[in-house]
Amino acid sequence: MRLLRLLLRGAAAGGGRGNLLAAGLLLAGGAATGQVAPAPPAAKAPAALPAAQVEEALRLLLRADSTHQLRARGPESVGLVLDQTITKLGRDFFDLFYVAFEPPAGSVDYTIVLVERPGRVGSALVALTVNDVELFELPLSPQYDQMVAAATDAAAAAHDQLLENQRVSRQLEAGRRAPLETF
């Protein structure tokens, strides 16, 4: 907020190339987001800021915005949970799984697929796949309590698999780069 006030004060003073650039970026940013920059109070005459101070404030603002964009990545890069169920029991199981599943902190690139496969007459099997690794396959039970327990177990298994993937990834990235042993 302080950065915006500095930039507004410098842009309102109307001096220097940096102030003009800051005012243009503020107007373009406000137009793009649908926000209008607040007008400075009419009672006080804003003091002119040096161009170096305005440029530094703009640099800090842009750095903060780019950091925010990295943290607030779009939903397409967070991870996918796909529903490939067919029956109402399968959809109910997926809904229960989706409510129970919480990805571990730091997991952004993962794919979880719940696939319903036909079983014997009148039954179905649900398979859980995390990052192309099938964790388990279980028959669906029409009893709600058993379905809730199975969905909770499936969510815990997916969570554990993602944690294991993170642990292995960290080990590979931080591992020694020693040559292979020769015999």
Write out pLDDT tens, residues 25-37. 554 454 444 455 5
Confidence band (pLDDT; 50, 70, 90) for 16?
Answer: very low
Whole-angstrom distance, CA of residue 11 vs CA of residue 18? 8
Strand, coil or helix: what is 34? coil
Whole-angstrom distance, CA of residue 53 vs CA of residue 3? 10
Whole-angstrom distance, CA of residue 123 vs CA of residue 167? 37
Which of the two residues, 67 and 84, has the higher pLDDT score? 84
Amino acid 147 reads M
Write out pLDDT tens, residues 42-80. 556 567 778 888 888 877 877 776 545 545 555 555 788
pLDDT of 27 reads 46
pLDDT of 93 reads 94
> Is the Cα torsion angle 51, 56, 60, 66 positive or negative in sign?
positive
β-pair partners for 126 = 116, 138
Question: Residue 108, CB half-sphere, CA atoms under 13 Å: how many?
Answer: 9
